[in-house]
Amino acid sequence: MTDDIVIHAADPILDVDRVSVTLSGRQILDEVSFRVGAGQFTGLIGPNGAGKTTLLRVILGLQRQAAGRVSMLGQRRSPRHQPIGYVPQKVLLDPDMPMRARDLVALGADGERYGLRLPSRQRAAAVREMLHAVDADRFADARVGNLSGGEQQRVLIAQALISRPRLLLLDEPLANLDLRSSQEIVGLLARIAREQQIAVLLSAHEMNPLLPVLDRVVYLAAGHAASGTVDQVITTETLSRLYGQHVEVLHVQGRVLVVAGDTPAAVPLVGTD
């Protein structure tokens, strides 16, 4: 079950209430609860296999939960219309794909319109606005397959934003990015959350690039979750309780390292590069 450390803000964009998921007889999530409010940047942190992607799939309505509920804007999530933008994990863009960055962003404008396209002028204006929002103007006409990893992530974020979502979900968007690109993407998302008052939930197993901008953190381990501010959640006491074993939270040269045990041979759980 979730360790709720602080009282959540009223009127959240996303409310996950005691969600449990069992797959092939194995408990993946056990009564996970948390809320994300407008303008908040929340990190969904945990080691590989902790259930982060499964939780995102539940929020999207792609995975059935055994118990619990997911609400958006105070109402049970609708299977037909969800004000959610989504950047999936490991999007592979073929270098030979004959599509410009602006064309890929434009596809997001029609994703939930059942074949009804926006008027061309309105659509083009929306694409320009979203490319500008993610600082992608300079490569708007470049082939997406020729862009760097960081540039591709900006385009994919713009595509997710063009439908004007209230919630933006990102599944491991920093994977395979260098440190500089990771920092740029994190700063970009934090700015978008504030300026557009979007609730942002980003999953990652490496928390350190997120630390300067996180409003809240949801930490998943062993099927359970703890939620709150970084200082409240990322502690030896809280994470030891979450993992069901002793772990150490170490602060080394401005970085956080979570390890199993308290010896020099301790195994890193999360927080390493």
Using one digit for the tens of pLDDT, what is the confidence trace for 190-216?
999 999 999 999 999 888 999 989 999
Judge whether 239 and 249 are in contact, CB under 8 Å: yes
The per-residue pLDDT for range 87-144, each reduced to its tens digit, is 998 777 777 778 899 999 998 876 554 444 555 788 889 999 999 999 999 999 999 9
- Are 125 and 156 in contact, with CB atoms under 8 Å apart? no
pLDDT at residue 81 is higher than 90: no
Q: At what angle do helices 149-161 and 120-133 cross, to 10 degrees?
A: 130
Q: Phi first, then psi: give them for residue 231, nearest 5 degrees.
A: -65, -25
Say if CB 32 and CB 20 are below 8 A apart.
yes
DSSP secondary structure letter of residue 117: P
Strand positions, DSSP E, 41-195 = 41-45, 67-72, 75-76, 84-87, 167-171
What band does 252 get if pLDDT is binned at 50, 70 and 90?
A: confident
Q: What is the DSSP letter of 172?
A: S
Helices marked H in 148-220 — which ranges? 149-161, 179-196
* Whole-number pLDDT of residue 268: 56
pLDDT at 9: 46
> Which comes out higher in pLDDT, residue 34 or 269?
34
Could you tell me the CA-to-CA distances from 113 to 129, 157, 163, 164, 253 in Å, in that order? 19, 19, 10, 13, 49
What's the distance, CA 192 to chain centroid?
13
Give the pair of three-digit tokens for residue 238: 């809280």
Q: How confident is the model at residue 16 (pLDDT cuts 50, 70, 90)?
A: very high
Contacts of 239 (CB under 8 A, 6+ apart): 219, 221, 226, 233, 247, 249, 258
Range from 92-96, 147-151, 208-212, 247-251 carrying the lowest mean pLDDT? 92-96
